[in-house]
Amino acid sequence: MTDFKGYKAVIVSISVFVLLFVILLVTAPKDLEASFAAPEINNPIEEVEPDTDGKFLTFDEKYRIDGRDFPDDSGGTIEFFVDIEKGVFLENNPEIPRYISFFESKSITGLAVSFDLADDRILAGLPLMKSKRIILDGELHQIVYSFQKAGEQAVFFDGELVAASEYKGSNANAITGMAVSDLSSAKKLKTDTMFYNAVIK
């Protein structure tokens, strides 16, 4: 009789264990899936108000990111300096290109920053923005482009806002038809380019 009770207790224990295991399998998939999912990157695009150093915007180095392009289309800021004198540039380039290309993104289709030599305007963004007319006089000038997904985009020249609009992403130029024609034939200019994981307020 004692042995029977012992076997009965073992059977009951096994049954309870199996029942708990089945319940766990039914209820656990979401938790298991979450535990094995790729971790979220806690790297938000922060809005900042850059300081000014004379006529140039300055950014906190903690926002600076390495590389030659934006890592993705979530947002960011690109900064570079140019010291072109338009007349001299045209004399040295007898083929007379229509555009000077400062930056073309490989990670964000269609995103580019260039200068229209015929119209004296910076072209940048998605959709493409045209700045007010600026002068390339051979002095050192700062060009900054900043954008945020589902937000705004803007161009600054020597700290002054010269163009701004809503940022609409990679298909924006195709939709509006405002593409920089033949950037492939533009004169590409090498500049010291810096990228920041922040957008200008």
Averages of pLDDT over runs of 10 residues in the chain (201 residues) are 56 64 55 36 63 83 91 94 88 81 92 93 95 94 95 96 94 47 56 88 81
Task: Assess whether 32 and 60 both reside in one domain.
Answer: no
Task: Assess whether 8 and 69 both reside in one domain.
Answer: no
Residue 23 confidence (pLDDT) = 61
Rounded CA Rg of the chain: 28
Q: State pTM to two decimals.
A: 0.71
Assess contact for 99 and 186: CB atoms under 8 A: yes
What domain range includes position 9? 2-36
Q: Is residue 41 domain-resident? A: no
Residue 49 confidence (pLDDT) = 79
CA 155, CA 103: separation in Å to the nearest integer?
A: 13
Which residues have a Cβ under 8 Å from the Cβ of 149 and sit 6 or more positions away?
73, 74, 75, 167, 169
Query: Structurally, how many domains does the chain consist of?
Result: 2
Terminal C-alpha separation, the chain: 82
Task: Assess whether 141 and 173 both reside in one domain.
Answer: yes
Residue 18 confidence (pLDDT) = 64
